[in-house]
Structure 1
Amino acid sequence: MVRVLAVDDEAPALGELLYLLRADPRVRSAEGAGDATEALRRIGRALEPGPGGGEGPGALDVVFLDIHMPGLGGLDLARVLGRFARPPLIVFVTAHEGFAVQAFDLEAVDYVLKPVRRERLAEAVRRVHDLVHATAPAPAPEQVPVELGGVTRFVPVDAIVYVEAHGDYARLHTDHGSHLVRIPLSVLEERWADRGFVRIHRSHLVALGRVDELRLDGGATSVRVGDAELAVSRRHARHLRDLLMRRTS
């Protein structure tokens, strides 16, 4: 079971969220705070050691956090919590779709849109519960929030085959479709270098483990990833060949 703090400056919204959380059998306790200052005060008390120096009785697993609040907003509060030695997990609950990228940068577990639906909130609680009770400590699988028709979905980075540049945007290609996100390709190249993504062209980033073929044709180099054939620039060709050869050695 998980211990929850919900933070929202609108009392009716906070009351409804707490009602739904307390009705979930995976939630051990759910308390509320009306602003970031009160939230930090409650979290500080929760971090005080219990008898014998162990975990305090009010220790928290997750904060369900509104974004727009007077004073310190939800994104700012999440940044503050991220500096803690053992920060709680974060789930954003907001009426605004446009902050999903910032939530992604802050490693939020989920991003739930208002009005909150019981089924959608239950999915967020499930994700938190699975992380809190994992048999071995492990980071949450990295996911990219994508928005389509008012719905925010989270695409696992491991499901992405290649990425295509679209100006300040990037199109993520998976085996089951593609998604446009407002993140420049250069940012993803740096962020995902240790996840096996390699720049092969000014317009493409590929998952090295998903490269099926390397083709040389009259001095031109290309790769096949899934159903796509992508050109490899001369600048990147040698480095890509070395990486592929190293993968098979």
Structure 2
Amino acid sequence: MIRVAVIDDEPLARSGVIARLRGEADMRVVEECADGHGLAALRREHVDVAILDVQMPGLGGLEGLAAIPRDERPLAVLLTAHDSFAVRAFELEAVDYLLKPLDDERFGEAMDRVRRKLGGEQRQAMAERFAIRVGTRLSFVDVNAVTWIEADGDYAALHAEGQRHLLRESLHELSRKLDPQRFLRVHRSAIVRVDQVVEMQPRPNRDAVLRLRDGTTLRASRTYIDALMAALHRVA
């Protein structure tokens, strides 16, 4: 069982997170705090992951997290309403970064990342290649050749070495098979291999336009932008 602490100064926000966690059968809320001081008292031996608001009165989430010695610090999933703290989140090795109001699918993805980080899914479960069926012919695409993936109805379209391959699998299912250190959801309809991003151009609404090494341009939505920024700092 994964032990979770929920830290937010807004009671309704805490309730929303806790309600979502009830849908995660392997997770149990063991601590509930209203500020960073409560967070700073937590240790990994009692809590596996802390889901915490970044900005709180008194002691904020990042400051509370930083107050815990690194080798005793639980995993962290950060919540924020507006400001960008991605670089600081990267420094504190946050697992994910969620924008309020929370999106249910995005929250589920963050919990999957927590499971992978804690070893709930074995490394062998990560995809190494994909089987593509065209009529009676079966071909294979190496995961290392994939630069980005887009949703296409009931299919996922793999873009690899200038070719587009259709795989009968949803983008959400596929994201669970990919190494989260290398592949990141940037939009409801797109996953990118992080090391392929060469440029990110922010837009006024906090979305961004990404340019990949092969010249492809993609939209990154504000729901995913801070996690993307943290990931880009990780591979820099």
1:173 is the counterpart of 2:160:
no
Total equivalences in the alignment:
164
Match of 1:78, SS? helix
Contact 1:36 1:74 in 2 (8 A): yes
- Give the aligned partner of residue 2 of structure 2: 2
Match of 1:107, SS? coil
Structure 1 residue 95 displacement after superposition: 0.8
After superposition, the C-alpha distances for 1:148-183 in whole angstroms (9 at most, x for unaligned) are 8xx9x985533x2645999xxxx752555367999x
Structure 1 residue 97 displacement after superposition: 4.4
Bigger Cα displacement from structure 2, 63-72 vs 97-106 = 97-106
**TM-score of the two chains, using structure 2 as the length reference:** 0.54
Match of 1:85, SS? helix
Percent identity over the alignment? 36
Match of 2:76, SS? strand
RMSD after superposition = 3.9
Structure 1 residue 124 displacement after superposition: 0.8
User: Which consecutive residues of structure 1, in runs of 5 or more, have no partner in the other structure?
Assistant: 48-58, 183-187, 194-249
Contact 1:26 1:125 in 2 (8 A): no
Match 1:61 to one of 48, 53, 65: 48
1:157 is the counterpart of 2:194:
yes
Contact 2:49 2:75 in 1 (8 A): yes
* Distance (Å, rounded) in 2 between the aligned partners of 1:78 and 1:90: 8
Match of 2:110, SS? helix
- Give the aligned partner of residue 113 of structure 1: 99
Contact 2:198 2:213 in 1 (8 A): yes
Change (3 A) 1:157 1:86: farther
Residue type of the alignment partner of 2:33: A
User: Which consecutive residues of structure 2, in runs of 5 or more, have no partner in the other structure?
Assistant: 124-178, 203-209, 227-231
- Give the aligned partner of residue 24 of structure 1: 24
Contact 2:6 2:18 in 1 (8 A): yes
Contact 1:7 1:63 in 2 (8 A): yes
1:11 is the counterpart of 2:11:
yes
- Give the aligned partner of residue 243 of structure 1: none
**TM-score of the two chains, using structure 1 as the length reference:** 0.52
* Distance (Å, rounded) in 2 between the aligned partners of 1:118 and 1:37: 28
Residue type of the alignment partner of 2:2: V
